Amino acid sequence: MKDEVHSLRIEDKEVIRKMALDAGFHDARFTDCLIEDHTIEHLTAYENRIQKQDANNGLSWFLKYKDIRRNPHMLLENVQSVLILASVYHTKEAEPYLHGRYCLARYALGKDYHLILKKKGNELLKKINDAYSCKGRVLVDTAPFLEKYFAVKSGIGFYGKNSLVISPSFGSFFHITVILLNLSILPDHPAFADCGSCTNCIAACPAGAIQHYSIDPYLCTSYRTIESKEIFCEKQNTGGYIFGCDLCQNVCPYNRPPAYANFEEYKPSSEIPTNITGPIDRELFERIKKESVIQRVSYEKFNNSINTT
């Protein structure tokens, strides 16, 4: 027997939005759970490319659970609405880490965002459930779900030429948290903004990975320093980045000046040196990867990125 569906008034929708903002999220938007045909076509083409090209299995995970990615109802029975939450992760404390010989992407400086946002998302879901007796599920970048598609559809932001979602209000240095709900909630409108004639991100990418509104994942520094299993022998043009990359975001006009995080957990770990000057020893690596997204790579891979940058 399926769970009963409740339709919320506009006033209730605004109550939930206020709950999210009061919890520290920068924005909260609603959309339905339908996926347009042209998006499915693009998704299929992307999957086919990975199937043919991904010899090192760095993106092979994307080929799992294809049916679920196309059908949010398989993640939550009788899902009616998608609540998209944005949380900026850039902090003032990150500034000293951004100008050294070797750099980490901003999001890698603090605590693993999966841990932060899963906890805060579930706390928010409990409040929504207490108020409206609903069923829901929190997703943070680990389930087979089209986060960016639904974020754009909800009006959190628009697709940038670097393929990231950009908010007209606070740029692109933010993470997306999703809450699936069996509540029928009137969707918000998409954002009416775009990149215009700006091509800063395309020019800034040292690997030439960015085309207009698409990215070649196999050229992207983030892929090469995180997803790729390959240990490189030759020098890579990464602009100094050894885990992830922020170059295309650094030059984006919507990130000037950058917005700042509301969550203390995004502040840089005290274990990470402000100026990495060369390969690090295993003891330091073990310390900096604790509760960090850096644990996604091996010690050998981390130092390989340093040695080949």
Q: List, as one string, the DSSP characters of 227-246.
A: I------S----TTEEES--
Number of domains the chain is built from: 1
- The answer to whether 87 touches 262, Cβ cutoff 8 Å, is yes
b/e map of 99-108 (b: 16 or more CB within 10 Å)? eeebbbbbbb
Q: Which residues of the chain have pLDDT under 70?
A: 1-5, 54-57
Establish if 25 belongs to a structural domain. yes
Establish if 1 belongs to a structural domain. no
Establish if 31 belongs to a structural domain. yes
Establish if 66 belongs to a structural domain. yes
- The CA distance from 158 to 145, in Å, is 18
- Provide the pLDDT for residue 1: 45
- Provide the pLDDT for residue 8: 86
Establish if 202 belongs to a structural domain. yes
Q: Which two tokens stand for residue 269?
A: 């770990």
b/e map of 185-211 (b: 16 or more CB within 10 Å)? bebbeebeeebeeeebbbebbebebbe
- Provide the pLDDT for residue 111: 98
In 3-state terms, the chain is what percent helix, strand and coil (to 5)?
40, 15, 45
- Provide the pLDDT for residue 59: 84
The boundaries of the domain holding residue 235 are: 6-307
- Provide the pLDDT for residue 278: 96
What DSSP string describes 150-175? HHHHHTS-EE-TTSSEEBTTTBS-EE
Q: What is the mean pLDDT of the chain?
A: 95
Write out pLDDT tens, residues 2-27.
Answer: 556 678 888 999 999 999 999 999 99
Is 32 an annotated catalytic residue? no
Its pTM stands at 0.95
| Annotated active-site residue in 141, 188, 216, 281 | 141
Establish if 192 belongs to a structural domain. yes
